[in-house]
Amino acid sequence: MQTGGEWIEKSPVEKDLRALVNENWIRAGSAFASQKANSILSCSKRSVTGRLKNLKVLNVSFNNLKSVPPELGDCENLEKLDLSGNMEITELPFELSNLKQLTFVDVSANKFHSIPICVLRMSNLQWLDISSNSLKDLPEDIDRLDELQTLLLQKNKLTYLPRALVNMPKLSLLVVSGDDLVEMPTAICESTTGLKFVSLKDSPVETIVCEDTEEIIENEREREQVEKEFMKAYIEDLRERESTPSYTTKVMLSLQL
């Protein structure tokens, strides 16, 4: 692997990194990549992460990761972090607060019960996708993310939205879903705010009963991948349409495997 002109090949872990990483990119696309990404991010190797000062994009989505090492906070030039679809991550280490260059964070399809504190300290964050988790509420100080433009919250367990969302000057797209959402600031729905607010109607996919637990998990992971591609295209379309209503309740998300 080469970062900033320096070759790193001193340990088996570093050689595995060379197979997965270049200066700007880690992407999981095979069983080999999945195993190696899990192995690399699960071990605490400050000597390795400390050498990735020039890493800008880290994509280890859909890799069965269960945790993220605090040493990732040493990658101070990281701009994009994708941990989506790992299904089991419940928290992020506080050390990730050091990632002040991050503009994009995707932790969708995991098991977060709240927005991690470190995320609230990412001062340049513009895109946050924490959909398909177990959020029950949002922090009252979420407006400290004053650079945030896109916030994706669909498929959580939210019952209300805090008024602090109205105080986020650059927030232009907010997506939520669920019948449990019963309270929200009136200003969010007013077109004068310039915010495109979309409330998706959840359409749960029927679960196929099978004996193999691993097969159930794999089916869920594949469903999340397909749904994620749909949402990506849908959101891009929303952002490009000037006439999109500020509040929409009749959007159905239906998926058949």
Query: What pLDDT is recorded for position 252?
Result: 44
Report yes or no on 252 lying in a domain: no
In the chain, the number of structural domains is: 1
Distances (CA, A) of 163 to 10, 168, 187, 216: 52, 10, 9, 39
Predicted confidence band of residue 244 (pLDDT cuts 50, 70, 90): low
Pair 12, 18: CB distance under 8 Å: no
Q: How far apart are CA 250 and CA 162, in angstroms?
A: 23
- Which of 109, 160, 117 lies closest to 133 in space, CA to CA? 109
Model confidence pLDDT, tens digit, residues 184-196: 777 777 656 678 8
Query: What pLDDT is recorded for position 257?
Result: 40
Q: What percent of the chain has pLDDT over 90?
A: 43
Query: What pLDDT is recorded for position 15?
Result: 46
Q: How far apart are CA 81 and CA 61, in angstroms?
A: 9
What pTM does this model have? Answer: 0.72
Query: What pLDDT is recorded for position 193?
Result: 64
Report yes or no on 83 lying in a domain: yes
Report yes or no on 226 lying in a domain: no
Pair 189, 166: CB distance under 8 Å: no
Rounded mean pLDDT, 11-38: 49
Q: Strand 127-129 and strand 104-106: pairing?
A: parallel
Report yes or no on 240 lying in a domain: no
Predicted confidence band of residue 26 (pLDDT cuts 50, 70, 90): very low
The vertex-66 CA angle with 255 and 74, nearest 5°, equals: 115
3-class DSSP state of 174: strand
Report yes or no on 230 lying in a domain: no
From 57-61, 102-106, 117-121, 232-236, the region with the lowest mean pLDDT = 232-236
Q: How far apart are CA 150 and CA 159, in angstroms?
A: 20
Give 131-155 as a DSSP string.
-SS------TTGGG-TT--EEE--S
Query: What pLDDT is recorded for position 39?
Result: 58
Model confidence pLDDT, tens digit, residues 140-179: 999 999 999 999 999 999 998 998 998 999 998 898 987 7
Average pLDDT, the chain: 75
Show the domain range for 185. Answer: 12-204
Report yes or no on 147 lying in a domain: yes
Q: How far apart are CA 20 and CA 31, in angstroms?
A: 12
Predicted confidence band of residue 221 (pLDDT cuts 50, 70, 90): low
Residue 96: DSSP 8-state: G
List all residues 6 or more positions away from 117 whose beta carbon is below 8 Å from its beta carbon.
Answer: 94, 97
For residue 137, give the CATH number of its domain. 3.80.10.10
Helix pair angle (12-20, 31-42), 10° resolution: 130
Report yes or no on 192 lying in a domain: yes
Predicted confidence band of residue 13 (pLDDT cuts 50, 70, 90): very low
Give the amino acid at 155.
K
* Residue matched to tokens 């849908």: 234
Distances (CA, A) of 152 to 46, 104, 138, 180: 32, 12, 12, 16
Rounded mean pLDDT, 15-36: 48
Output 19 or 146, whichever has higher pLDDT.
Answer: 146
Predicted confidence band of residue 217 (pLDDT cuts 50, 70, 90): low
Model confidence pLDDT, tens digit, residues 41-72: 554 455 555 567 889 999 999 999 999 999 99
Report yes or no on 7 lying in a domain: no
Q: Enumerate long-range contacts of 213-220, CB under 8 Å, 24 or more apart.
A: 217/87, 219/257, 220/87
